[in-house]
Structure formats: structure tokens, C-alpha cells
Structure 1
Amino acid sequence: MNYLISGATGFVGTHLLNHLRGGGQGVEVISRRPNVGCDWTMESLLPAVLQADVVVHLAGAGVMDAAWSPARKLELERSRVETTALLARACVEASRQGHTPRLVSASAVGYYGPHAPGEVQEESSPPGEDFLAQLCVKWEGALSVAQEAGVPVSTVRIGVVLGADGGALKRMLLPFKLGLGGPLGSGRQSFPWIHVQDLVRLIEFIAQDGDRAGIYNGVAPGCVDQRTFARTLGRAMGRPALLPAPALALRLLLGERSTLLLTGQEVRPSAALAASFEFEHPLLADALVDLL
């Protein structure tokens, strides 16, 4: 199969690129100029889309990379919604020309908004009302033009992706190595995680069959709370995990972004399990041992 990937230089995109090429798949990437908004055009995208069996859309500005000023919030939206809409339209145009690729787009578990532990969120659960939830609603809504035209569309609502070479785990390693690790805030908030290799395998699994179109939660079955995550990481590293990061300090340091760390949602990968996808790392302890 031939894949076309946006966001291929990011953490997840790099792993997906290596996984697919390692499996003998053809892969092309969609690039854009750094520090520029969406500089793609239909003319630049369509030839590549016409050659692709699957288009995987992972591009989007990092939600933790800068303070959420009004301008930054607009950038977060544009980098997701505008690019998604353009790719969706390119897939529709390719379909009109006799070639219908499958479209797999990232979203996030932030779609569900903050929830108390025990309030399990599945793919059919309604969206939340906070900024991130509504961002995800707009992000996913940009796919509608492709869905209405009969393009097989899948959305992967991704949780916290664990990998030693990037993402949240890499940022946590140093404080734990220094003996300064611990839970964030109360530690009671849910922490929906997934091993990066399971995520790229799930994306490939979905892409392989047009009948698998739909919404998937990109999380492991073994969701834990943040306190359990910190303790499990500490054990895996042979380091203590006794120093909590106070919620007030995180709010002062990060502002509105602190909601990503201090709240969570217990998310179940119901669609993936129903489709008989097999997680290689369903349990946190095993996943961390593999990564570390």
C-alpha cells in the first residue's frame, strides 16, 4: 500500500513512517514550511493524494508548546481545522477523478472534556464544552466533506502517547532520574495513555481495510490515574515518586494549559477492541519496561 502522511516529522509521525517503511509499505510525506500556517494548496496536494491508497493526517501545532493566548488558540485551530479540511477536499477531488483513498485523521481524547474517574468515555460519548473539546469538535467536523462524498474516513482520538524518544514521557524522565518525580496535582485524574508502537500499529490496522472506517480511541485498555502512573514510572526507573507537583504551581506556571495535566478522562478503546485489534502493551508496567 502507498501512504501519504502529514506531520511525518513529529513524534508520532516519525514512528509511523519508520514502522510503515520497515514493513515494506510505500510512504510519501506532506511537508510545510516551518513557522508558516497552512501553506498547502489543492494544486500541491492533489497529485500526491491521487497516488496514495491511504492519507494519514497527523499535522497540528503542539498544544503544550506555547501559552494559550488568543493568537495561539487561533493557531492551534487553524493548524488542525484548515489542514484537515484541505486534505478532505483533496480526497474528494481524487475520488471524483476515479481514485478514492482512505483518510485517517488524528484527533484527541480531549474531545470528551474533563471527567471524574469512573466516568468511562467511549467513542459514542458526547463532546465536552471546554476549549480543547470544542477544538476537537471543529477538527473532526472538517472531515465531513469527505465522509459525505463517500471517502472512507477514520478518526483516532489519541491519548498520552508514551515513547522514550519524545512526547510526555521524555519530558518526565529527567525529574524522575533526579529523584524529583511524583504525581501532578491530586494525582486522582485519569491518565489515558498508549505505547507509541501500539498507536502506529492501530493506525495501520485501521488503514488496511476501508470497512474499518469510523471513530477510534487511541488509548490502551489499562487506563490508570496520574498517581498510579507516577508510581509505576518510578518503579520502572528504580527511582522514588514521592514529590507531587502542586496544582497551584502548575496553574501559575502554565496558565490554562495546566488543565491538560490536572484533569483527565477515563477512556476505553471500545472500537479497537471490537475490531479485534490486539494491543502489544495493554498494561502500563509492561509498556514502561519496554520503553525504558
Structure 2
Amino acid sequence: MACYKPSLTAQYTEDSEWTPFDLLSRLVKEWEWAGRLPETIAQNTRQVVIRPGVVLGRDGGAMKQMMTPFWLGLGGTLGSGRQPFPWIHVSDLAGIIAHALEPSPNTPSSAVPQVYNGVAPALNTNYEFTKELGRVLRRPTVFPVPGFVIDALMGSERAVVLTQGQKVEPKRTLESGFQYQYPDLNSALREIVGS
């Protein structure tokens, strides 16, 4: 989601215009450009770009790093906790990829890739995510991590990923008919934690 400028109020869809504004957004722009097919091939081949949020799954990624502090009762919000937290369950991300690659009469081949936001339809904040994970684990979430601590530990360019966020909607993903298995935090976290 690094292509969209952090904001507590703006909502972004796949059609939202964006220009690089920092290191991560420049990286996304270059990555998406590098993945484009040559025009001669693109005319006969469907191109798809998936922009994933924080991927939640049982076997790694963000959840693996969070589980120990939360199990110990040391979990808490990051920074203010008000920042949007665009997330997706790993099974739904795999489903979006498979769904996006299926031929569809409504989406002809084009030199311009079709973009899908790989996020759950629920628009949650870091606070809501933290509280729901604590509730599912039956653990307290009373130890917030101040923004300046995250900046000091990760450096300000990397910390922005955790302390700021974007409200990202999967508009095109939903319009394409994709059905989420885990559209809300409760169902996703219960599957991951196994409770």
C-alpha cells in the first residue's frame, strides 16, 4: 500500500491517482513498471498488478513477529493507533491472484495492467487490529509502543510503514466478483490463531 500517501481521512481505490512521494512509493512505481510486458506481448496477454496490504497468515510474515509479544501480554497499539491498517488474510490474497488471472470477457487484454488492491473490505485502524488480536488471544493489549520508539528502532523511513497508514478499498476486487473467505478481522484472526 506504499504507493498511496498516508492519511487518516483519504480513501483510496484502484483508480486513485498517485505519484511517488517517498522511497517506498518510488520502489512500488519502479516495481510495477518493471513488471510490465512488452507491448507486442501485452496486446494478447492479460496483465495484472496486485497491491497487497499487510498479509496475515499463520506461518510467517507480520503475525509471526507479533505473536510472541501478544502471547506474553505485551501487545499494544503502534504510535497513536489511529492510523489505518490495510490487511488481508493470506488465503484471500492467493484467491485474488487466482481470480485476477482468470479470463473474463469484461477485462480484455491491454498494454495497461489491471490493478487490484489486495486488502480485506474491512477498513480497520491499528487500534482495532490490536484490540481484536488481544481479544482472540485472550490477552491484554495495554502496552502501546510510542512512535518515537519505533522511529528509533527502525529508522524513520521504515517506521512510517507502521506508524502511518492508508484507507484502501478493494473496489475493483469486489466489483470483479471476488468472494472473500475472511472479510473481517475476527474471522481472519480466529483462523490464524486457531481458536
Tell me, yes or no, whether TM beats 0.5: yes
Establish whether residue 220 from structure 1 lines up as the match of residue 123 from structure 2: no
Distance 1:147 1:210, change over 3 A: farther
- Whole-Å separation in 2 of the counterparts to 1:136 and 1:148: 24
Contact in 1 for aligned 2:46/2:101 (Cα 8 Å) = no
Establish whether residue 137 from structure 1 lines up as the match of residue 38 from structure 2: no
More helix by percentage: 1
Establish whether residue 234 from structure 1 lines up as the match of residue 134 from structure 2: yes
Q: Counterpart of 1:215 in 2: which secondary structure? A: strand
Q: Percent identity?
A: 40
Q: Counterpart of 2:143 in 1: which secondary structure? A: coil
Q: 1:18-33 to 2 correspondence within 5 Å? A: none
- Quote how far apart the aligned CAs of 1:147 are: 5.0
Matched residue, 2:13: 122
Q: Which 4+ residue blocks in structure 1 deviate beyond 2 angstroms?
A: 143-149, 210-213
Q: 1:26-105 to 2 correspondence within 5 Å? A: none
- Quote how far apart the aligned CAs of 1:113 are: 2.6
Distance 1:219 1:180, change over 3 A: same
- Quote how far apart the aligned CAs of 1:160 are: 0.3
Gaps of 5+ in 1: 1-108
- Whole-Å separation in 1 of the counterparts to 2:114 and 2:57: 26
Q: Counterpart of 2:11 in 1: which secondary structure? A: coil
- Whole-Å separation in 1 of the counterparts to 2:39 and 2:80: 41
**Letter in structure 2 aligned against 1:291:** I
Gaps of 5+ in 2: 108-112
Contact in 2 for aligned 1:110/1:136 (Cα 8 Å) = yes
- Whole-Å separation in 2 of the counterparts to 1:259 and 1:269: 22
Q: Give me the CA root mean square deviation.
A: 1.4
- Quote how far apart the aligned CAs of 1:286 are: 1.1
- Whole-Å separation in 2 of the counterparts to 1:200 and 1:188: 28
Question: For the pair shown, which has the larger CA radius of gyration, 1 or 2?
Answer: 1
Q: Higher RCO, 1 or 2 (CA under 8 Å, sep at least 6)? A: 2
Matched residue, 1:276: 177
Q: Deviations over 1:145-185 (max 9, x none)?
A: 43564131100001000001111011100000111001000
Contact in 2 for aligned 1:143/1:153 (Cα 8 Å) = no
- Whole-Å separation in 1 of the counterparts to 2:39 and 2:131: 43
Q: Number of matched residues?
A: 183
**Letter in structure 2 aligned against 1:241:** T
Q: 1:142-181 to 2 correspondence within 5 Å? A: 142-147=34-39, 149=41, 150=43, 151-181=45-75
- Whole-Å separation in 2 of the counterparts to 1:234 and 1:289: 11
Establish whether residue 201 from structure 1 lines up as the match of residue 85 from structure 2: no
Contact in 2 for aligned 1:113/1:130 (Cα 8 Å) = no
- Quote how far apart the aligned CAs of 1:112 are: 1.0
- Whole-Å separation in 1 of the counterparts to 2:59 and 2:123: 22
Query: How does the TM-score come out when normalised to structure 2?
Result: 0.89
Query: How does the TM-score come out when normalised to structure 1?
Result: 0.60
